[in-house]
Structure 1
């Protein structure tokens, strides 16, 4: 079984590619987390967890969901993580999650995909995003082959920088950076409510037909990137930056 959490589509695309190759089912973790659904899942023996990289680990909301949810039949787990540049030492923490679930840890694969974190970085234009996605193809295929053969992924890089970012920097980043305080909607907002529906944390409400953000944000960028009128800004940091949706990459389905 394949579990997938995705903010703006990168991880969803990778999960779908793996699902097609393995003829497996993809479970949408966005929906399960949004619904607070922690009912038991009959996974079968092989579990593939596909997620983006948040602060050099898998998203905290995903690891928390894993801890709360019972899996039956699971024996092995592979982690596939996409990122704009690097996953740090995420593998160490993924191994620990596997041990907590009493599963054989089959490794962590890094897939570099287009950047979407416009609260801090520039998302690429369509041409560049397509090039990055095409360059990721061999890594996606390599991950699929390992899973098909029930082989462990190659051990990822693990230097001092990686250990620092996934270790002490991760909780600091969440505490200091991962907040919804700077999200605001301009007069261009139509009150369509798509941001409310896209938020996996139920952190957005419409008040007088305008979105209002709470304190429970994971910085998935779904609200700002999927807004049909680009009415949402993250302070001044997102002004003028292209919004990123994987689905809008021309020629990529």
Structure 2
């Protein structure tokens, strides 16, 4: 089973690509998180967990989901992590998670996709995004073939800087930066509620026709990048920046 979390579509792309290649079942955890479900999942085939990298480690929301779910059947677990640059020492934490819940860690696949974290960086334009996605396809094909054969994914070389990024820097990122306080809706907001539906953590509600953010945010960028009128800003950090959604016609 391929289990994924995605905010702007990069990890959804990777998951759907692998689902087609491996002819395997697909589960969107965002919908289950939104419904507040604690899942019991069964797969006779290896588990393939697909998620974005947040500060050089797999997104906490998927790691938490995996811990909370009851997983039966196969004990083998692969991790496919999408990133704007590189994954640091993310593999170590995925391996620790497997040890914690009794799975056999089979490695991590680094898949570089278009940058989407517009509260800190610039997202590429459509042409550049498509070029980056095109380069990701053979990486996914090669990783998918190893998964199909039951082989381990190649190990990554990890240096001291990688350990710092995925360790204390990641922890500081979540503690000091991952907050919803700076999100706001401009006068371009129509009150359509797309952001409310897009938020996997039910962190957004409409008040007097405008979105209001609560405290349970993971910075997945689903709201700001999915707004049909580009009415959501993250303080001044996002002003003038292009929004990003993985091109839907690139998925399969």
Normalising TM by the smaller chain, what interval?
over 0.9
**Alignment gaps of 5+ in structure 1:** none
Provide the secondary structure at the position in 1 that maps to 2:82: strand
- Separation in structure 2 between the aligned mates of residue 151 and residue 160 of structure 1, nearest angstrom: 27
Q: State how many pairs are aligned.
A: 251
Which residue does the alignment assign to 2:82? 82
Match of 1:175 in 2: 175
RMSD, aligned CA: 1.0
- Whether the 8 Å contact between 1:14 and 1:50 is mirrored in structure 2 is yes
- Quote the residue 2:196 is aligned against: 196
In structure 1, the partner of 2:50 is 50
Q: Distance in 1 between matches of 2:208 and 2:109?
A: 45
Equivalent position of 2:120 in the other structure = 120
How far 1:135 sits from its partner (Å)? Answer: 1.3
Structure 2 gap ranges (5+)? none
Q: Which segments of structure 1 move beyond 4 Å, counting only runs of 4 or more? A: none
Q: TM-score, normalization: structure 2?
A: 0.97
Deviations 1:213-232 (A, max 9, x none): 01110000000001000000
Inter-partner Cα distance in structure 1 for 2:66 and 2:14: 20
**Per-residue CA distance 1:12-55 (angstroms, 9 max, x = gap):** 01101100111111100101111121121112241000000011
1:133 is matched with 133
Is 1:238 the counterpart of 2:238 in the alignment? Answer: yes
User: Residues 110 and 156 of structure 1 are in contact (CA less than 8 Å); yes or no, is this contact kept in structure 2?
Assistant: no
Mapped partners of 1:4, 1:134: distance in 2: 20
Pairwise CA distance, 1:164? 0.2
Aligned equivalents of 1:36, 1:105: Cα separation in 2: 27
The yes-or-no answer on 1:252 pairing with 2:245 is no
Q: Deviations over 1:58-101 (max 9, x none)?
A: 11111111111111112100000010001110000000111122
TM-score with structure 1 setting the length: 0.97
In 2, the alpha carbon distance for the partners of 1:122 and 1:23 equals 35
**3-state DSSP of counterpart to 1:239:** coil
**Distance in structure 2 (CA, Å) of the matches to 1:36 and 1:156:** 35
1:209 aligned residue: 209
Look up the SS of the partner of 1:246 in the other structure. coil
8 Å CA contact retained: 2:226, 2:245: yes
